[in-house]
Amino acid sequence: VSETGFLLPSIPSHEKKADDVVPHVEIPLYPIPEFDLKTFNECIPERKAIFDHQNKEIAAALDLLSEYWETCQQTKTDENRALAFARAAAAIKCLPFKATNSQQLKGIKGLGNGHALRVATQILESGYCPEVEEKRNDKKFLSLQIFCKVYGVGPSIAEKWYAQGLRTVEDVKKLDQQDIANNDMIAHGVAFYDDLNRPLLRAEAENTYKYITDLAKLILPSVVTSMNGGFLRGKSSGHDLDVLFSYPEREDGDYGLIAAVLDELNKKGLVVWSRATHTDGPRKVIEINSSPLSSGSTKEHLPTMMIIFKYPLDDRFDEFERRDFSGERNLGPFQLANSNRQWRAVRVDLVGSTNAQYPYAQIGWTGSKQYNRSLRQYAKDSLNYSLSSMGLHDNGQNRWIAAQTEQDVFHHLKLTYREPWERNF
C-alpha cells in the first residue's frame, strides 16, 4: 500500500526483467473513492449501518464470537471479549463498501488490529475461520445457547443447568416443575419455549401494535405511541414487539396508562403472564413522574410492562377478543401451553414515557443495543454528557437538556441525524 492509500500492483519476481519498464498504475485501496478512513474513525455514531450491509459473512463471524463469549462468560474478561467482538462486528456493518482486500480492514476503529482483525481477514481471504467453526460447534456453547433462549434465562442460570447435567430443551422441560416454579418468568419461558422462539413477523407485530394502541387511545385519546425496536430499524421479523407510549405527567404520580392498558388486556383474558419492572406495587410503577429535567439520575427506569400475550392463530382480533378465556385462567403455564388453544404466545413490552422523555426513550428503544452503546460512550467521552432513555444530562453544567424530537437529540449531541434503519450496528 502506498502512503497515499493506493494499492501498488505487485509483479511476480520471476517476470521482472532488469530493463522492464514498470507501468505506474495505482489501484485505489477502496472501491468507493469518497471513503476516507480518517473521517470514518473520527466519530463512531456518525457511521451508518443499514440492515442489508455488504459484509455479512465477516460480521456474522464476529457476532458469533461475541455471542459465544456473552453466553459462556465466566469472568469479566469474557464479558469484555463479548463487547470487543460486538464493537468489531459493528464497525464491519458500517463499512460503505464490500471489502475485497484485507488491506481495506486495517486501521478501522472498533475492529482494532488484534484478534477480531485476524478473524475478519481469514473470513475475507478464505471464507473460513477455524476458531469460529470450532466455537459454533462447541457442545457446551450449543447447550447454553438453547438455555439462554428460554425467556428469563441468562448466562448464569444456563451455566447452572449445564452443571446439573442438562443439555437440551427437552431436558429443561423435564425438570421437576418445582425447580422452576419459584420463578414464574422462567416457568413460562420453558412452557412456551417453542412459541416464543418462533420469529414474530412484521405483519403480526403490526397487527398486535394496532390492537394494543387502539385500546390505549380509548383510555387516553391524546396518547402518542410508536412501534420501536428492530421493526423500526427495518427488520422483517423479531423476537418481540416493543411499544412505546408518551403521555403527560400526572400530578398524583400515578402515570397509570400502561398499567391501565394491561388491566384491559387482562380483563379480556389476553395476557398469559406479565411483570411490571420498577414497581413497588401492582399499580404503583415508580418515577415516571420524575421528569428528566428535574431528576438527578440517569438510570434506566422507564416503567415497562413485560407481557406474554395471546396472539390469534388466524390473525384476527375482532372475534378473538370477544371469546371467553375464563377456562384458561387457573391453568399453570405447562397446562396452558399444552391446552387446545387458538392462540400463540408472543412477547410484548409496553414502555411508558412522559412527553419530555419521549425523544430520548425513542432513541433508546429503537436501538440497536450496540448503536446505543456507541452513542452513550461518545456522549460521555466527547461531551461529558450522560445519555439514557430518560434524558440527556450535561454533567459539566449539572443540567438536563430538553428535546422535542429525536432530531433535537442528535443536534444536542452535535451529530448528524440518522434514520432508525441506519442504526443497525
By a kind-dependent CB cut-off of 5 to 8 A, residue 333 interacts, out of ligand DCT, Mg ion, none, with none
312 contacts ligand DCT (rule: CB under 6 A): no
Distance CA 232, CA 206 (A): 11
242 contacts Mg ion (rule: CB under 5 A): yes
Q: Is 20 exposed, middle or buried (0-12, 13-18, 19+ CB in 10 A)?
A: exposed
- Closer to ligand DCT at the Cβ: 216 or 241? 241
Q: Are 278 and 318 in contact (CB under 8 A)?
A: no
- Closer to Mg ion at the Cβ: 238 or 333? 238
Residues 67, 70, 159, 242: which binds ligand DCT (CB under 6 A)? 242
- Closer to ligand DCT at the Cβ: 30 or 360? 360
- Residue 279 DSSP code: B
229 contacts Mg ion (rule: CB under 5 A): yes
CB of 292 to Mg ion, least distance (A): 23
149 contacts ligand DCT (rule: CB under 6 A): no
- Lay out the site mask for ligand DCT across 201-230 (x = CB under 6 A, - = otherwise): ----------------------------xx
Distance CA 394, CA 136 (A): 43
| Residues of this chain, 290-329, that bind Mg ion according to CB under 5 A | none
The stretch among 215-223, 237-245, 263-271, 395-403 that binds ligand DCT (CB under 6 A) is 237-245
Alpha helices in 20-108 (DSSP H): 37-42, 56-71, 76-94
- Closer to ligand DCT at the Cβ: 120 or 403? 403
Distance CA 22, CA 107 (A): 29
Q: Is 268 exposed, middle or buried (0-12, 13-18, 19+ CB in 10 A)?
A: middle
406 contacts Mg ion (rule: CB under 5 A): no
Q: Nearest Cα to 309, choosing from 257, 206, 240, 258?
A: 240
- Closer to ligand DCT at the Cβ: 58 or 351? 351
Distance CA 362, CA 242 (A): 11
Strand 343-354 and strand 241-247: pairing? Answer: parallel
The stretch among 181-189, 201-209, 231-239, 370-378 that binds Mg ion (CB under 5 A) is 231-239
Backbone angles phi and psi of 6, in degrees to 5: -110, 150
204 contacts Mg ion (rule: CB under 5 A): no
Residues 15, 34, 369, 398: which binds ligand DCT (CB under 6 A)? 369
As a whole number of Å, the end-to-end CA separation of the chain is 29
- Closer to Mg ion at the Cβ: 230 or 391? 230
By a kind-dependent CB cut-off of 5 to 8 A, residue 292 interacts, out of Mg ion, ligand DCT, none, with none
Residues 81, 93, 235, 418: which binds ligand DCT (CB under 6 A)? 235
239 contacts ligand DCT (rule: CB under 6 A): yes
CB of 241 to ligand DCT, least distance (A): 8
Q: Which amino acid is at 423?
A: R
Q: Are 15 and 21 in contact (CB under 8 A)?
A: no
Percentage helix, strand, coil for the chain under 3-state DSSP, each rounded to 5? 45, 15, 40
Q: Are 239 and 195 in contact (CB under 8 A)?
A: no
Distance CA 221, CA 249 (A): 15
- Closer to Mg ion at the Cβ: 237 or 295? 237
Distance CA 195, CA 408 (A): 39
Residues 63, 67, 204, 240: which binds Mg ion (CB under 5 A)? 240
The stretch among 20-28, 43-51, 234-242, 303-311 that binds Mg ion (CB under 5 A) is 234-242
**Which three cell numbers, joined as nine digits, stand for 329?**
385462567
**Which three cell numbers, joined as nine digits, stand for 106?**
486495517
- Lay out the site mask for ligand DCT across 347-366 (x = CB under 6 A, - = otherwise): -----------------xx-
| Binding positions for ligand DCT, rule: CB under 6 A | 229-230, 235, 238-240, 242, 364-365, 367-369, 372
